[in-house]
Structure 1
Amino acid sequence: MNKIPGNSTATHDVLQDNIEEKTAFDALVCTNTALRLAARRLGNLYDEALAPVGLKATQVSLLTETTRMAVANGGKAPTLQDLAAKLAIQISALTHALKPLIRDGLVELQPDEQDRRTKRAVLTPAGTALLQEAIVHWGTANRRVEEVLGAEAAASLRTVADYVASDEFLSAYLGN
């Protein structure tokens, strides 16, 4: 406590300021912090579920999105730029995340047919097989989360998260 010698009024004022500061801090609501804590908790639970196949939830998401984008593009693998944009991450973060998947023979980078400087991410047969195995473990964790939250709350959580991740939300936030 900050005491001011010989001045009990000043000591009282310092105490009052500390109480008001603590009350203001306690009333502060931070959506970002709440979402980060929730994401960290869920990420850890999914990571534990995926441990038997040696993948992290982020890696399964990366493999899944790579596959999803290829299917949506008639079997043509996504470019690294398109994949990074879809995942809302920097290209440097994507290439960093791909390194262990490439090292382990789960993903290959192939040059684009028209522009050899552009790279496309392709799952290898081993990557496809491991993804199929991982999806079983992921499904178990996902069902458990739904059981605990309830189907309606889980659906609402996904809907809100999808909206926050959307360009529509960004545009509204920026006032465009």
Structure 2
Amino acid sequence: MPNDFVCINSSLRRAARRLGQLYDVALVPTGLTSTQTLLLGQIDGLGAVYGEDGPTLQVLAARLAIQISALTHALRPLVRDGLVEVRQDAHDRRTKHAVLTPLGKARYQQAYVVWVVANRRVEAILGAAAAEKLRSLADDVASQDFLDAYVSGEKPASGTEPSEH
């Protein structure tokens, strides 16, 4: 491979690992990792849409852009620690839903306060405009439109302009 090859994937993975480490350190007092906090936050946010049944594991996995097996692996310690319940769907026993327990809601609220402080520190260092651009580009790359364009080999009609988030 030539020395001048620039890999977007490598750069993003390094950046994601560094940010994950910073958030993990900030979250130590909560007993949660950044990945666990993100997962609790997604369950909480989707719970507002799906009600007391919570989101299905399929919806949650799609939202996180991960496989169901990775999601169930990530959920195990949260279920074990009583923060999340995985419930069977009332109409389809093959479908499962993730729901925060009262303890999970309380722990997420605690972690959210810490997360906001860490996030503000990162944003202050990057600058507001750069932080927004980074979030927007990351959201675009994680979008279904980007995946569809990559698979089809065609640039999306919107070009490289950030999509609405």
Q: TM-score, normalised by structure 1?
A: 0.84
2:31 aligned with 1:46, yes or no?
Answer: no
Assess if the C-alpha contact under 8 Å between 2:83 and 2:103 holds in 1: yes
Partner of 1:78: 55
Task: Report the AA paired with residue 59 of structure 1.
Answer: Q
Report the AA paired with residue 152 of structure 1: A
Partners of 2:124 and 2:87 in 1: CA distance = 41
> What are the residue-to-residue correspondences of 1:160-171 with 2, within 5 Å?
160-171=137-148
Among residues 79, 101, 106, which one is paired with 1:129 in the alignment?
106
Q: Which residue of 2 aligns with 1:115?
A: 92
Over residues 34-57 of structure 1, what are the superposed CA-to-partner deviations in whole Å (9 max), with x where a residue is unaligned? Answer: 000000000000000101001011
1:98 to 55, 75, 93: 75
SS across alignment from 2:120: helix
Letter aligned with residue 169 of structure 1: F
Match of 2:131 in 1: 154
TM-score (norm 2): 0.89
Task: Give % identity.
Answer: 59
1:75 deviates by: 4.0
Unaligned runs of 5+ in 2: 155-165
Give the match for residue 55 of structure 1.
32
Residue deviations 1:129-153 (CA, integer Å, cap 9, x gap) = 0000000110110000010000000
Alignment RMSD (CA, Å) = 1.2
Residue 73 of structure 1, CA deviation: 2.4
Runs of 4 or more, structure 1, over 2 Å off, are 73-76
In structure 1, runs of 5+ residues without a counterpart are: 1-20
CA distance in 1, matches of 2:51, 2:89: 15
Q: How does 1:11-22 map to 2 (within 5 A)?
A: none
- Alignment partners' CA distance in 1, 2:32 and 2:51: 27
* Alpha-carbon distance, 1:68 to partner: 0.9
Give the count of matched residue pairs: 153
CA distance in 2, matches of 1:79, 1:56: 22
- Cα distance per residue 1:56-98 (max 9 Å; x no partner): 1110110110111110224430111111111111111000000
The one-letter code matched in structure 2 to 1:45 is: L
Larger-Rg structure: 1
Q: Which residue of 2 aligns with 1:138?
A: 115
Moved more, 139-148 or 72-81: 72-81
Aligned partner (choices 22, 36, 44) of residue 13 of structure 2: 36
